[in-house]
Amino acid sequence: MRVEREKLVLIGNGMAGVGTIEQILKLGGAYDITIFGSEPHPNYNRIMLSYVLEGSKSIEDIILNDRQWYEDNHITLHTGTTVVRIDEDTRQVIADNGLSVSYDKVIIATGSNSFILPVPGSTKEGVVGFRDIADCDAMLAAAQQYRTAAVIGGGLLGLEAAKGLVNLGMDVTVVHLLEDLMERQLDHTASSMLQAELKRQGVKFAMGKQTVELTGEERVNGLRFSDGTELQADFVVMAVGIKPNTQLAKDSGITVNRGIVVNDYLQTSMENVYSVGECTEHRGTCYGLVAPLFEQGMVLAKHLVGASTQPYEGSVVATKLKISGVDVFSAGEFTETAEHTVISAKDEWKRTYKKILLKDNIIVGAVLFGDVTESASLQKLVKQGSEMTDEIYNEVMGTGCCGGGGAKQGLSVETMADEEIVCGCNGVTKKAIVDAVTENGFTTVDEIKACTGATRSCGGCKPVVEQILQFVLGDSFQESAKAGICSCTTLSRDEIVAEITAKGLKTTKEVMNVLDWKQAEGCSKCRPAVNYYLGMIYPDTHEDEKESRFVNERMSANIQKDGTFTVVPRMYGGVTTPEDLKRIADVSIKYDVKVVKVTGGQRLDLIGVKKEDVPKVWEELDMPSGYAYAKSLRTVKTCVGNQFCRFGTQDSMGVGAMLERKYERLDFPAKFKMAVNGCPRNCAESCTKDIGIVGNDGGWEVFIGGNGGIKPRIADAFCKVKTDEELVEVCSAVMQYYRETGNYLERTSEWVERMGLENIQRVIMDNAENRKELAARIDFALAQVSDPWKKMLDDDNTRSALFEKANL
């Protein structure tokens, strides 16, 4: 005979509420569960919306529990349905569509809403908050139609929104009432460093500005400030704070202050009704960060299944921010007063900052910028109210003899409580990770991620997960935890290059055999990488392995979604001739090319060439390839320069064509783009190129590490030179240093941030002999390569043979 289960209704399908349900299920709770969610989506990771906005993740990527999960756990899910009242007399929850569901227990997890400033114009079209997928969709749509945006609010959410919009190509200004960003989490020093870094990445700031009106007719077109100044904006994001969503509780007669008031077991004033998350007020505090919400959910889950649990007594708030390489952490108190003892260290070269605050020698707060590897240790020390000792000082300030050794792992995880949350995004505890290791024999972070969900979201907890693995596994962790370039090997890029050099390995097959690849033939990720490393190490003897190339490189054309190809002939410096244009037109007509597209790289794409026609198209064009498919120099964009422009000071077209002719054909770790401007007006957009060159009356200024793609980055000023000869030597040295130290598929924008601009300048600009040696090495490599199409004709008499070999 079936035992009737109690009915548990969750109102709110967000991270806090569903996280509580997950814990109930893990603890073996026997409830018939119904979940209501106002949004049309299953449970997703709200804190990852900024990654969706910047384009590095899709909505599907941030779904935490898909609809199949609800079915597998026998949970009834009502999406797009808002509960409007809890009827205590009939013990039913009533939704806006008339649906009513009876309950024995209710969890309210309605979260919070964006706070919209009550200023004139705040209801105009083009004004949104940033809390859910609908807001994210509105921002993505706006970026397709409008150019300028303002983000009101310089807190965590506002900065994430601003950087996301910058990555979408918008001109974005953050408007903040105070002079410091994230003033509730950071001190003045860390805030200033954060602002400087975000400025470098393209975010603009209007600090100390109070918005009094949003201007425009039906749609917003600007902001007016209290000092009378204005800012033009086609789109406005309000990120000035959140307010708990308490309307349901109010309408149901539940006690509400700022949030829904609960006791230490998360129970509201209504019997059998509980509340967790941002809508909740506990001991006068509403929490807006994820980790405290999971701590609440853990206590509530244990209470509801009858397991032993300590009451919830509040959380130590810690904040971690990561935007395109900007790492910031804060825990506890962060602004010093006369009663604090301050321990701090600032490194302007590495752009790092660390501060610890003590009261009567007790650790009460910490701030980190640039390097947050100690965040887990410091958060624990602050939470526990630990006393500062010489040992702790040496560990967290990096001055101990152990450096980064084993004692540090012990400090981070050995004394960590089993129920302490390691992964705030997914509510994974230390015990869950330890159990995954001891019970399932897991030894890698990827296995832990698949089992527990830890690291599957923002990845900020990965260092702590690795520390727990090392703590549990001991010496056996070292080999299993190594992150290789792919799943075929545990070897890193540097280790592979060192082994190739030391052992004299000459082919991809030899590398994979001698270095014990898990898959004898490798995979699509490691084969091209190893082939590149071999070519970089042995430019004169390595025989390029066509089978290790990506399909586009094997075809010397870009494959499109319909199976046709795009052929892109080279146009040096963006300059062509009437004869070449006529040839392009004739070939396009003859082979029924669907579209001839003028690109941002100042060349023509012949789109829609049938696979079987690609060799003939190349033959009849009789033009060099533009390498649009290759990990090599794609284009050198130019302005008209002093040959034609009245503002031009240098021959940008001539120098651009010369550079393109010099460096074409050579492989790089990733695609490579250049631009040459004849004056500082930057018409060729040097600021977003791997190497950007700007002419002036005194010579040339060189910029490196720019990117105009999914993750835009403004190039860094690298050096100034007076002559074309110096310019070529510097460009050669930068390219070769990148070729020799870059990870495969790593753009220079990422390479510069990883290597450090100052370090690259030191290697190249501060050491003339080293610069000349690098330039000589790239010249040697260039002397070994020729147009692969010409070589193919020499070898096979026809280009068609290559396609047969490629099995395409």
587 within some domain: no
45 and 137 housed in the same domain: no
Q: How far apart are CA 670 and CA 550, in angstroms?
A: 12
411 secondary structure, DSSP code = I
Name every residue whose Cβ is closer than 8 Å to that of residue 567 and which is 6 or more positions away in sequence: 557, 605, 606, 609, 614, 617, 618, 621
| Three-state secondary structure call for residue 114 | strand
The CATH number that applies at residue 408 is: 3.30.390.30
482 within some domain: no
pLDDT in tens, 49-108: 887 887 667 788 788 888 999 999 999 999 999 999 999 999 999 999 999 999 999 999
**H or E element, residue 507:** none
Q: Which one, of 511, 549, 497, lies nearest residue 803 by Cα?
A: 549
467 within some domain: no
Q: Are 301 and 24 in contact (CB under 8 A)?
A: yes
Domain count for the chain, please give it.
5
3-state helix, strand, coil in the chain (%, to 5): 35, 25, 40
126 and 141 housed in the same domain: yes
Pick the residue with more confidence: 482 or 675?
675
* Domain boundaries, position 699: 631-786
The C-alpha torsion from 789 through 795 and 798 to 802, rounded to 10°, is -70
122 and 105 housed in the same domain: no
Q: What confidence category does residue 348 fall into, taking pLDDT thresholds of 50, 70 and 90? A: confident
43 and 160 housed in the same domain: no
456 within some domain: no
Q: Which of 483, 515, 548 marks a domain boundary?
A: 548
769 and 649 housed in the same domain: yes
Pick the residue with more confidence: 399 or 336?
336
574 within some domain: no
Q: How far apart are CA 530 and CA 647, in angstroms?
A: 47
Q: Are 161 and 77 in contact (CB under 8 A)?
A: no
Q: Which one, of 37, 112, 27, 46, lies nearest residue 75 by Cα?
A: 37
- What contacts 24+ positions apart, CB below 8 Å, involve 222-229? 223/150, 223/152, 223/175, 225/175
Sign of CA dihedral 785, 787, 789, 792: negative
230 and 129 housed in the same domain: yes
563 within some domain: no
Residue carrying the six token digits 């400033």: 117
The CATH number that applies at residue 749 is: 3.30.413.10
Vertex 661, ends 655 and 666: CA angle to 5°?
A: 125
Q: Which of 548, 579, 614 marks a domain boundary?
A: 548
Q: Are 390 and 425 in contact (CB under 8 A)?
A: no
555 within some domain: no
CA distances to 341, 345, 353, 360, 542 from 378, rounded to whole Å, are 16, 15, 14, 17, 50
pLDDT in tens, 621-655: 888 887 777 888 989 999 988 888 888 889 999 99
105 and 251 housed in the same domain: yes
Integer-rounded Cα Rg, in Å, for the chain is 30
Pick the residue with more confidence: 37 or 799?
37
Q: How far apart are CA 373 and CA 354, in angstroms?
A: 11
638 and 779 housed in the same domain: yes
Per DSSP, the residues of 71-103 read: HHTTEEEEET--EEEEETTTTEEEETTS-EEE-
271 and 331 housed in the same domain: no
416 and 280 housed in the same domain: no
261 and 225 housed in the same domain: no
Q: Are 434 and 470 in contact (CB under 8 A)?
A: no
Q: Identify the pLDDT of residue 376.
A: 75
pTM value surpassing 0.95: no
122 and 270 housed in the same domain: no
pLDDT in tens, 446-455: 778 778 878 7
pLDDT in tens, 699-747: 999 999 999 876 789 999 999 999 999 999 999 999 999 999 999 888 9
The CATH number that applies at residue 181 is: 3.50.50.60
590 within some domain: no
Under the phi-then-psi rule, with left for phi > 0, alpha for psi from -120 to 50, and beta for the rest, what region is 108?
beta
